Amino acid sequence: MTTWYFLHSGKCSPSYNMALDEALLDWHSEGLIPPVIRFYEWEPATLSIGYFQQAARDINLATVRDQGLGFVRRPTGGRAVLHEHELTYSIIVTESYPNMPKTVTEAYRVLSEGLLLGFQNLGMEAYFSVPKTEAQQQDLKKPKSAVCFDAPSWYELVVEGKKVAGSAQTRQKGVILQHGAILLKLDLEKLLSVFNFSSEEVKQKMREKLPHKAVAMNTLIDRDVTIDECVTAFKEGFATALDITFEPMVLTTEQLKYVEDIEKRKYANDDWNFKK
């Protein structure tokens, strides 16, 4: 078995969360740390957008401000996610890690196996989504909506036909960074309020459609799952799926300074967050 670092950061600002993920990627690329599994939350609740998204086009920025939400552009692709009632995970591992598939799609499958086992540890019958028709596969290439949970992508987690975890991936400096949201609860109206729609009719269609496509785990079982339960279940899931053991990671003063420098230069900077 291989030893990875495990880091549970708790609630952090949106800019710090993204800066820390990037710092972990940098340190791993330089051989300074082993692969890492990280869990974290968001303070305040935050709308994150994918690297390629156009903020002004897709997002109702006035509503984001009025509701006191954080806002940040991720280094990964994918669509916008409202991070509120959730546990977020990130995985940092080299592309050359033993038995790691070369393709993004198959790497998703390997890395997300821990999520699958995590949901099963919590008593849910989860499975991987695999779009079957050519039309569904085209939807993944050209999504119709800016909303992340509008549809499952390849090898994302589905329970009762509905998406329960959304993930995104980037590869830089020979390292894979995959992170994603594990939904505990979903506030549909708040989610809809932060997106721009071409008309009220289109917004209403999304309001009607989304509950059939996305689901939070606390609507699937007859009790409220806590963050601590999720951390335990998914940590065990990743350990089993990847055949690894964990060593707790504690950031040094020097490492904290490195993260803060990235945060100030990039993720807390409007030039980054609104560049598209």
Check if the beta carbon of residue 4 is closer than 8 Å to that of residue 245. Answer: yes
Confirm if 97 and 171 have CB atoms less than 8 A apart. no
Residues marked active site are found at 148
What pLDDT score was predicted for residue 212?
67
Q: Which residue has the tokens 């060593």?
A: 247
> Dihedrals φ, ψ of 46, to 5°?
-135, 145
Query: What are the angstrom distances between the C-alpha of 158 and each of 123, 166, 192, 216?
Result: 14, 10, 21, 11
Sheet containing 46-49, strands listed edge to edge, beginning at the edge strand earlier in sequence: 70-73, 46-49, 81-83
Cα dist from 102 to 28, 106, 138, 165, 210, whole Å: 18, 7, 22, 23, 33
pLDDT at 276: 79
| Total domain count, the chain | 1
CATH of the domain at 201: 3.30.930.10
Task: State pTM to two decimals.
Answer: 0.89
Would you state the pLDDT for residue 131? Answer: 61
Q: Where in the sequence is the domain holding 223, given as residue range(s)?
A: 2-273
SS (H, E, C) 32-78: CCCCEEEEEEECCCEEEECCCCCHHHHECHHHHHHCCCEEEECCCCC
What pLDDT shows up at residue 126? Answer: 87
Q: Which residues pair with 247 in a beta bridge?
A: 5
pLDDT averaged over 10-residue windows placed end to end, the chain, 276 residues: 96 98 98 98 96 93 97 92 94 96 88 92 86 48 43 64 81 95 91 94 90 78 91 98 98 98 98 92
Say if CB 227 and CB 242 are below 8 A apart.
no
pLDDT of amino acid 178: 94
Strand ranges (DSSP E) for the chain?
Answer: 2-12, 36-42, 46-49, 70-73, 81-83, 86-94, 126-128, 157-159, 162-172, 175-183, 244-248
* Distance from C-alpha of 240 to C-alpha of 220, rounded to nearest angstrom: 24
Give the pLDDT confidence of 247-258 residue by residue, as tens digits.
999 999 999 999
